[in-house]
Structure 1
Amino acid sequence: MKLSPYYAVSLGLIVALSGCHEPEHHHEEAHKIVVTSPLVKDVTTTQSYVCQIRSRRHIEVRALEGGYLQEIKVKEGQSVKEGDLMFKILPTLYQAKLDAEIAEADLAQIEFNNAKKLYEQHVVSPQEVALAQAKLDKAKAQVQLAQAELNFTDVKAPFDGIVDRLHEQQGSLIEERDILTTLSDNAVMWVYFNVPEARYLEYKSEVAEGTAPAQVELMLANGQQFHEPGVIGAIEADFNNTTGNIAFRADFPNPTGVLRYGQTGTILLKRVEKDAVVIPQRATFEILAKRYAYIVGDDGVVHQREIEVKNEMEDIYVMKEGINPGDKIVLEGIRQVRDGEKVEFEFIPPEEALSHLKFKAE
């Protein structure tokens, strides 16, 4: 049977229209996100500062008298004890001067004895005895001065320390005040580091409250930690107006002598914060230099909230404001949610969330 063209077209339109009216199936699923809560625990925070290491005592050893350098009793890098002879300047002139002054003193002593004897015999007046006594006292003072000048030719260590580079060689003609070497007392090292004003004010407040950093550690240039703990020994009187910093000094005992004058390192100030509120860094995001987190309300609606970080640690933030212990914060899926959106979520305990952190904040 043949179909007319009109009938064929009509049949095709009916089939097409019937296909257009087939019911559609829409699958609209809510975003699946992972939510956790802040964890309240004791944490140890660390502040690091570049530092310069100095000896407790570091002096220039100078010649007190001029002359030829007769002997050098020490070597570069040698440890010396207080009172050890380090250098000897040729003492010939000073010895001769001392001998002459001793002879003058002996003469004055004889004259005094004679005057005293004559006074006892009523031959001379008391004034003659007084003049002889004064002459004797002056002669004895000259002997002491000459002895001191002779002693200055022996340059001795004023304290226990390590000898630095020798500036003069044996036989050199030395002038008064010439530098012979430097001497460092490295038993205790003074480590200086600069602290910003805000951190300085925090430290003074913590000292007043009795919560100042319990640990002061030193990281050496090779990345290893110095084995002795330190203490804050002093704070300088003035701020540097150019940098806005003030210098702190940490004192470290140095029994093995590892630390030397002029080294550099990093000071680590560690303090324990009780009942700190911490969250993963990956649960936060930044907009125009401000940090935010998504908080899920009891109704399942997400709200964006500005937060303030007190301290940053590896993978976590210690919170100052904006996060409360009972809040539910979005951990996974931050880029999938919007402020005011209702979501479905999976909750994981904070201990589990913090146990395997690998990534920083988005």
Structure 2
Amino acid sequence: MKTTLMLTGLFCLLWCTACSEKEEEKEEVTKYLVTAPLKKDTTITKEYVCQIRSIRHIELRAQQRGYIQGIFVDEGQMVKQGQLMFQIMPQLYEAEVQKAEAEAKFASIEYKNTKRLADSNIVAPNELAMVNAKWDKAKAELALAQVHLGFTKIKAPFSGIMDHFQVRSGSLVDEGDLLTTLSDNSKMWVYFNVPEAEYLDFKTKTQNSNMSKVNLVMANHETFGHPGIVETIEADFNNETGNIAFRATFPNPKGLLRHGETGNIQMVVPLKNAIIIPQKATFEVLEKKYVYVVGKDNVVRSREINIAAEMPDLYIVKDGLAADERILLEGIRKVHDNEKIHFDYQDPHKVLANLKVYTE
């Protein structure tokens, strides 16, 4: 009886041990998640550092020498076209006008008297011509004196915003001295540099009107409320950088943008038949991007890929990967090159949907 019980117990022990070994073998089989690239039409947003400039930004300089007698505007003030801004002491130029008026009046009387004598053949016609030339000279000098007097009043050549003053009331200024600057901010010119390859893409796709529309991200990381339009491209490339300057025009109805600001231009670029993969399916070695490609023999092999563009959680592959190949999605740090794996395949549409990224 004891022998029977011992045999029965030994059999149970062996059976349990065998079951345990089978369970351990099952636990040792690790499955990885595999997917494929998604090939579809999409758009990407490219960003460029930009400089914001007023559509008109000029320096106001003195055109006459003299003392600043009056300043009729304030720094940062909005002025209208023709509004008086500075007055240079005019007495000297007023006296010059009065002198020129007197000389012109004298020349006029002299001409009239000589003409009467010429009509009576008392003086030669050449003398009349000389007196007439003298009167013309006097009138020209009067006009010039009036222009100089007009230069003592500096008026706004267009409506815009004043910058800070370079002079104060009572300052002595020479001809050409800087008084202030004036900016017309009704529209803004935004300049940004584009690499040669992207310039060529832009030129071949500008039939699509959306390609010429751009957005401006301001320094506070907020998007400006009005889109701009790319209107001008400079003639020459910069040989040192390989870039060419674009200029976009933005409306500025509320005057939020000011001359000298910086920001980033965002341009939406369409891509046809783009190869899209999740970023988490890649790894980096010496600043190069790689994926594990799963072959038909279920063996993973690392392969370098080139990235055409980056989106949130996604890469658009330029080359190195075909749309019909399978790539390792999870467990990248656990496998080795040329290792055979067990895996579950997940449709790329489902993978991208789980990333919560819009690729339309």
Ranges in structure 1 where 5+ consecutive residues have no aligned partner: 1-14
Change (3 A) 1:282 1:240: same
Equivalent residue number for residue 332 of structure 1:
330
Please give the per-residue CA displacement for 1:147-167, whole angstroms capped at 9, x wherever unaligned: 100100110111221111122
Equivalent residue number for residue 204 of structure 1:
200
Shift of 1:144: 0.6
Larger displacement relative to structure 2 (44-53 or 64-73): 44-53
Counterparts of 1:15-54 in structure 2, within 5 Å, are 25=21, 27=25, 30-54=29-53
Larger displacement relative to structure 2 (69-78 or 36-45): 36-45
* TM-score between both structures, scaled by the size of structure 1: 0.84
Alpha-carbon distance between aligned partners in 1 of 2:301 and 2:188, rounded to the nearest angstrom: 53
Q: Which amino acid letter does the alignment assign opposite residue 116 of structure 1?
A: K
Equivalent residue number for residue 165 of structure 1:
164
Q: Which amino acid letter does the alignment assign opposite residue 215 of structure 2?
A: E
Equivalent residue number for residue 184 of structure 1:
183
Ranges in structure 2 where 5+ consecutive residues have no aligned partner: 1-9
Equivalent residue number for residue 226 of structure 1:
224
Equivalent residue number for residue 312 of structure 1:
310
Q: Is the 8 A contact 1:293 1:304 kept in 2?
A: yes
Q: Is the 8 A contact 2:162 2:183 kept in 1?
A: yes
Counterparts of 1:276-287 in structure 2, within 5 Å, are 276-287=274-285
Larger displacement relative to structure 2 (176-185 or 140-149): 176-185
Counterparts of 1:205-284 in structure 2, within 5 Å, are 205-210=201-206, 213-232=211-230, 233-235=232-234, 237=236, 239=238, 241=240, 246-284=244-282
| Residues matched between the structures, number | 336
Alpha-carbon distance between aligned partners in 2 of 1:329 and 1:264, rounded to the nearest angstrom: 42
Counterparts of 1:74-93 in structure 2, within 5 Å, are 74-93=73-92
Q: Which amino acid letter does the alignment assign opposite residue 198 of structure 2?
A: E
SS of 1:155's partner is strand
Equivalent residue number for residue 5 of structure 2:
none
Alpha-carbon distance between aligned partners in 2 of 1:45 and 1:350, rounded to the nearest angstrom: 19
1:142 has 2:141 as partner: yes
SS of 1:82's partner is coil
Q: Which amino acid letter does the alignment assign opposite residue 181 of structure 1?
A: T
Equivalent residue number for residue 102 of structure 2:
103
Equivalent residue number for residue 4 of structure 2:
none
SS of 1:186's partner is strand
Counting aligned pairs with the same residue, the percent is 49
* TM-score between both structures, scaled by the size of structure 2: 0.84
SS of 2:73's partner is coil
User: RMSD of the alignment, in Å?
Assistant: 2.6
Alpha-carbon distance between aligned partners in 1 of 2:118 and 2:225, rounded to the nearest angstrom: 76
Shift of 1:205: 4.0
Alpha-carbon distance between aligned partners in 2 of 1:48 and 1:209, rounded to the nearest angstrom: 18
Alpha-carbon distance between aligned partners in 1 of 2:348 and 2:212, rounded to the nearest angstrom: 28
SS of 2:339's partner is coil
Larger displacement relative to structure 2 (286-295 or 253-262): 286-295
Alpha-carbon distance between aligned partners in 1 of 2:316 and 2:85, rounded to the nearest angstrom: 56
Q: Which amino acid letter does the alignment assign opposite residue 136 of structure 1?
A: W
Q: Is the 8 A contact 1:31 1:336 kept in 2?
A: no
Equivalent residue number for residue 297 of structure 1:
295
Q: Is the 8 A contact 2:52 2:263 kept in 1?
A: yes
SS of 1:324's partner is coil
Shift of 1:115: 1.8
Change (3 A) 1:258 1:23: closer
Q: Which amino acid letter does the alignment assign opposite residue 323 of structure 2?
A: P
SS of 1:171's partner is coil
Equivalent residue number for residue 344 of structure 2:
346
Change (3 A) 1:285 1:97: same
Equivalent residue number for residue 130 of structure 1:
129
Q: Is the 8 A contact 1:215 1:271 kept in 2?
A: no
Shift of 1:47: 2.5
Equivalent residue number for residue 70 of structure 1:
69
Equivalent residue number for residue 7 of structure 1:
none
Alpha-carbon distance between aligned partners in 1 of 2:212 and 2:134, rounded to the nearest angstrom: 66
Larger displacement relative to structure 2 (94-103 or 26-35): 26-35
SS of 2:333's partner is helix
Alpha-carbon distance between aligned partners in 2 of 1:174 and 1:352, rounded to the nearest angstrom: 74
Q: Which amino acid letter does the alignment assign opposite residue 77 of structure 2?
A: Q
Q: Is the 8 A contact 1:31 1:337 kept in 2?
A: no
Shift of 1:257: 0.6
Q: Which amino acid letter does the alignment assign opposite residue 182 of structure 2?
A: L
Change (3 A) 1:275 1:300: same
Q: Is the 8 A contact 1:108 1:139 kept in 2?
A: yes
Shift of 1:236: 6.6
Alpha-carbon distance between aligned partners in 2 of 1:23 and 1:80, rounded to the nearest angstrom: 95
Please give the per-residue CA displacement for 1:106-158, whole angstroms capped at 9, x wherever unaligned: 11112212222222212221111111111111011001100100100110111
SS of 1:134's partner is helix
Larger displacement relative to structure 2 (153-162 or 167-176): 167-176
